[in-house]
């Protein structure tokens, strides 16, 4: 496909996408769960839990099915375990038969190039996930509300980071989208059903049914408001929290709708590439477009509509700005975004031992995301003048040195060296912590750990810089890797 001009996405089109979901995945979850019983604002705990006990058990059975999807080949030959409930087995079998493979426009050469790029700047991808992609995810209030409901980003921030990495690694490791032994397709198809489960729980039924009711009430203010279920306030599981939260369909659209999915996709590819540019490490145009392409292929498998995808950095910039402007247009009360943003900053700060350097995650996130995002997610407050001054002066000095030395040595980069130092600390503190491993099948997790271990050496850096990096990132009392 040839894309040369910025695609005009109209507000009317994006408005419609707020009420569009994923019929294939939604149909699958609806076939498994069926209609809920006794759901109303005054329902008792017994009505909601005991009255729907079989449905809560079925959700657990779906999770067990995911354990069998170890790689792309395993979803092609999947057969249900003997203890799999028949409604789960039948629905999942139909889902896998109908799930799309790679789109006809997928370019294997571009995907392979994107995989090589991911391996090249792998440690930086960790830093950009922490300080750019996740913070930008919080900007859209409706999206951050769904994340806030689960508690995963406020109370269990590290868990959410690892869950995100558990999708990124299978997709971007060699053959993730294209080879039977890769894990990208299997992981994306899991995530697609997780999104449908979130929608079904929040809506307490299917998006199709919710839209039918909304259509009947189109002249009523807000149209369809699902009230919170106070009887489940004491329940702690994510499924119960989603089911009990309540949702204003008329005002907020469907949970995990097409616009939100397309925006999240932009945070995975465009925001990452924009961050590299901001750090002075931008890629060639053809490399950027290969990276966008690989993630768009992933988006297609995830059920995102092709017309919502950006194929060039210009298109991505325009769509990203438009979606953020739409998200900021209406006040959201209560606003969950500052709590999410501050929780993320605190997660990073506790991994930095020097008190003077602890504001670094906040300062770097501000630098990568800009003032508006910093304000949205509540990290625009006071920072020590000394830390801020050192950050600004250091940033200017690094850029000046890099620009000068690259006149002779093209790949030389102090910026890359410093950001790798920070990225390796976050990598070790969150993603490589063996007490809280990535939620991946063991053979995929093993490949991910091997990939992260290989990032200890930067092939573009001189030997002395790699030696210094190892000394600065080795745990106290441990020898640096050889």
Largest alpha-carbon pair distance within the chain?
73
- The residue with greater pLDDT, 160 or 423, is 423
Report the pLDDT averaged over residues 392-403.
92
Q: Give the count of beta carbons closer than 10 Å to the beta carbon of residue 220.
A: 11
**φ, ψ for residue 225, nearest 5 deg:** -120, 120
In this prediction, residue 265 carries a pLDDT of: 96
pLDDT beyond 90 at 365: yes
Q: Render the burial of 345-357: b for 16+ CB within 10 Å, e for the rest.
A: bebbeebbeeeee
For 247, the 3-state DSSP assignment is: strand
Of the ranges 214-223, 224-233, 375-384, which is most confident?
A: 375-384
Report the chain's mean pLDDT, rounded to a whole number. 87
Least Cα distance to 203 among 222, 187, 227 occurs for 227
Q: Give the start-to-end residue ranges of the domains of the chain.
A: 1-476
- The residue with greater pLDDT, 95 or 237, is 95
Tokens of 439: 């939620």
Distance CA 153, CA 238 (A): 12
Write down how long the chain is.
482
Contact status, residue 84 vs residue 285, Cβ threshold 8 Å: no
User: Which of 14-28, 192-206, 236-250 has the lowest average pLDDT?
Assistant: 236-250
pLDDT beyond 80 at 400: yes
pTM of the model: 0.91
Q: Give the count of beta carbons closer than 10 Å to the beta carbon of residue 286.
A: 10
Of the ranges 163-172, 392-401, 453-462, which is most confident?
A: 392-401
Contact status, residue 262 vs residue 319, Cβ threshold 8 Å: yes
In this prediction, residue 154 carries a pLDDT of: 46
What is the DSSP secondary structure assignment for residue 226, as one 8-state letter?
E
Distance CA 35, CA 205 (A): 6
Break the chain down into helix, strand, coil percent, rounded to 5. Answer: 65, 0, 35
Tokens of 109: 């050469």
Contact status, residue 343 vs residue 157, Cβ threshold 8 Å: yes
In this prediction, residue 482 carries a pLDDT of: 39
Tens-place pLDDT, residues 80-111: 999 999 999 999 999 999 998 899 999 999 99
């Amino acid at each position: 496909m040839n894309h040369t001009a910025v695609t005009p996405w109209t507000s009317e089109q994006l408005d419609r996408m707020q009420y569009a979901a994923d019929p294939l995945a939604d149909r699958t979850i609806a076939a498994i769960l069926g209609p809920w019983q006794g759901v109303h604002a005054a329902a008792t705990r017994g009505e909601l839990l005991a009255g729907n006990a079989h449905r809560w058990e079925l959700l657990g059975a779906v999770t067990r099915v995911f354990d069998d999807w170890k790689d792309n080949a395993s979803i092609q030959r999947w057969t249900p375990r003997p203890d799999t409930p028949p409604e789960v087995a039948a629905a999942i079998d139909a889902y896998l038969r109908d799930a799309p493979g790679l789109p006809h426009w997928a370019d294997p050469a571009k995907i392979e190039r994107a995989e090589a790029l991911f391996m090249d700047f792998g440690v930086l991808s960790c830093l950009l996930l922490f300080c750019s992609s996740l913070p930008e995810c919080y900007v859209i209030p409706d999206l951050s509300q769904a994340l806030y409901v689960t508690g995963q980003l406020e109370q269990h921030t590290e868990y959410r980071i690892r869950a995100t990495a558990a999708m990124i690694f299978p997709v971007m490791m060699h053959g993730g989208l294209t080879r039977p032994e890769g894990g990208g397709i299997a992981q994306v198809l899991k995530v697609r059903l997780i999104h449908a489960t979130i929608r079904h729980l929040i809506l307490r039924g299917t998006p199709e049914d919710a839209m039918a009711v909304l259509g009947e009430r189109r002249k009523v203010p807000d149209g369809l408001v699902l009230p919170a279920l106070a009887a489940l306030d004491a329940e702690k599981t994510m499924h119960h929290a989603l089911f009990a939260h309540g949702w204003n369909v008329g005002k907020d659209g469907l949970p995990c709708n097409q616009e939100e999915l397309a925006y999240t996709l932009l945070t995975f590819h465009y925001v990452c590439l924009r961050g590299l540019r901001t750090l002075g490490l931008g890629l060639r145009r053809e490399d950027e477009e290969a990276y966008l392409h690989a993630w768009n292929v992933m988006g297609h498998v995830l059920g995102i509509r092709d017309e919502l995808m950006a194929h060039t950095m210009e298109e991505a910039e325009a769509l990203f700005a438009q979606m953020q402007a739409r998200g900021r247009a209406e006040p959201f009360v209560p606003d969950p975004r500052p709590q999410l943003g501050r929780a993320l900053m605190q997660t990073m700060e506790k991994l930095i031992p020097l008190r003077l350097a602890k504001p670094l995650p906040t300062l770097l996130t501000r630098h990568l995301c800009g003032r508006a995002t910093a304000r949205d997610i509540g990290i625009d407050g006071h920072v020590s003048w000394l830390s801020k001054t050192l950050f600004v002066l250091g940033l200017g000095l690094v850029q000046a040195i890099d620009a000068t030395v690259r006149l002779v040595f093209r790949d030389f980069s102090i910026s890359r060296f410093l950001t790798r130092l920070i990225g390796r600390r976050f990598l070790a503190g969150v993603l490589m912590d063996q007490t809280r491993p990535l939620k991946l099948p063991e053979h995929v997790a093993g490949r991910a750990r091997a990939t992260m271990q290989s990032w200890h050496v930067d092939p573009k850096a001189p030997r002395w810089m790699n030696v210094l990096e190892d000394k600065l990132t080795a745990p106290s009392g441990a020898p640096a890797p050889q």
